[in-house]
Structure 1
């Protein structure tokens, strides 16, 4: 492991690695340890996954881990509304290729972005989340600091729902183009399902993998901005059970050697 720095920002534990491969491997190791720890105490473990390129190295390592997957239930945290059935841009398709179809989960619960009754779909997924309360959330942070599709100002730290329909911010749509999911922003659906911020943070442990230069500004705001819905990821600083994994590129705007650094380094 080539860890560069470790520290805390508020209550959030922060780890900075030389590159995204090392970041992904260490994150997978810690998630594996937590899953196995929980499996030693309970019959099953419920894990929420994010669908994004930032998760690639983490997921590729996690599927090789020694875990009793038949005792693990999988969820995902957001999904486009209105794409054709079978479209490769569906987040459930991405996660199917990366992990859902790679290991023998007890159950894989996905949001149905093709159903016309969005209210019923929110209720269906809410009931599943209540039946299988989340133990672990594995997430990224958007370029505009969104968590899942809880974009700035749409996010509600005190939301009473677990799942809702949201209109996507232009920054979130552009990020999907930047990550080669769509050729043009006009192709990105206007609406999506998302787990709410409280739903994501109900878990016993939260792991946020955020590599790459495109996330440097979001990381800066996550660690420096006032904790508010203007920058949704700032809420992570209030959580003692949350871990933020960065590489040298995503941590590029942090003044690591300065007294002004937002991180108290170990």
Structure 2
């Protein structure tokens, strides 16, 4: 585990972007696992800047997003397809057909989960998986539970998760109650995992996830078992790790 703590968001964003663009520069056909939410926005902005400066091309890259809300129209501004288009995809040269996000509106959700896992398997091992961290220790939308599901699956979102995401909607009533998420087993198969966490409100869960017991009650604690985990924290999120 390599934990780095930054005094500014600018430096953190640059570090995160450098890890991703550096991988793509050395492996133009890299398979990226991507995340959404507030945490990676600055990293994506820096990646776009690097692309526009001609430092990197994503033409050969394949991407798989961690998750998508169930029942939210794909063109809804808070769908994760809309998010990725807005913050990254439309600003770089990655072909649309090489970007993959679970279909949260599939008629047969279980079949869609199987399809998504098959696509990931066909692409080969994910070279780098980008993650954020939920207040309750979730990664992707893998919520705390007695047991965690290995592959892509539909999950009932914890109320704490829905409250945290309500800031992106007009009210919590608009936040979907389910999501389709990549499983912890798939996440842990990635060659490298890049975990980015910001904010004082995440300090305790960061410490618990990275130094506490490994338990499905804190899904992120399973990251301790990964052979190549890189953690980027701002000063506030890392205050208990120093």
The normalised TM-score by structure 1 is: 0.83
Paired residue for 2:168, among 165, 181, 189? 181
Give CA-to-partner distance per residue, 1:156-188, whole Å, 9 cap, x none. Answer: 2xx44x2111111111111102xx212332221
Aligned to 1:98: 87
TM-score by length of 2: 0.91
Q: When you count strand as a share of all residues, which structure comes out higher?
A: 1
The residue that corresponds to 1:203 in the other structure is 190
Specify the SS of the correspondent of 1:75: strand
For residue 110 of structure 2, give the secondary structure of its aligned residue in structure 1. Answer: helix
Match in the other structure for 1:135 = 127
CA drift at 1:67: 2.1
List structure 1 runs of 4+ shifted beyond 4 angstroms. Answer: none
1:203 Cα offset (Å): 1.3
Match of 1:168 in 2: 157
1:249 counterpart = 2:240: no
Secondary structure of 2:88's counterpart equals helix
What are the within-5 Å matches in structure 2 for residues 11-30 of structure 1?
12-30=1-19
| Equivalent position of 1:59 in the other structure | 44
Asked if the contact 1:223/1:237 (under 8 Å) is kept, the reply is yes
Is 1:49 the counterpart of 2:23? The answer is no
Q: Over the residues paired in the alignment, what is the CA RMSD in angstroms?
A: 1.6
Q: Distance in 2 between matches of 1:240 and 1:123?
A: 27
Whether the 8 Å CA contact 1:140–1:147 is kept in 2: the answer is yes
Distance 2:115 2:226 in 1: 28
Partners of 2:225 and 2:144 lie apart in 1 by 18
Residue of structure 2 equivalent to 1:3: none
- Alpha carbons 2:128, 2:193 under 8 Å: kept: yes
Match of 2:180 in 1: 193
**Alignment deviations for residues 64-100 of structure 1 (CA, whole Å, 9 cap, x no partner):** 3322311101111011001234111111111111112
List alignment gaps of at least 5 residues for structure 2: none
SS of the residue 2:145 aligns to? coil
Matches of 2:75 and 2:49 in 1, distance apart? 27
Unaligned runs of 5+ in 1: 1-11, 257-266
Q: How do 1:59-78 residues align onto structure 2 when only pairs under 5 Å count? A: 59-65=44-50, 66-78=55-67
State the distance in 1 between where 2:147 and 2:34 align.
19
Q: Check the 8 A contact 1:208/1:243 in 2, yes or no.
A: yes
Q: Specify which structure has the higher proportion of helix.
A: 2
1:141 shift after superposition: 0.9
Match of 1:237 among 218, 224, 228: 224
Whether contact under 8 Å (2:135, 2:202) holds in the other structure is yes
Please state whether the residue corresponding to 2:83 is helix, strand or coil. Answer: helix
Q: Indicate conservation of the 8 Å contact 1:155/1:232, yes or no.
A: no
In 2: Cα distance, 1:103 partner to 1:154 partner: 41
2: CA distance, partners of 1:202 / 1:245: 20
Q: Provide the rounded CA distance (Å) in 1 between the counterparts of 2:100 and 2:207.
A: 33
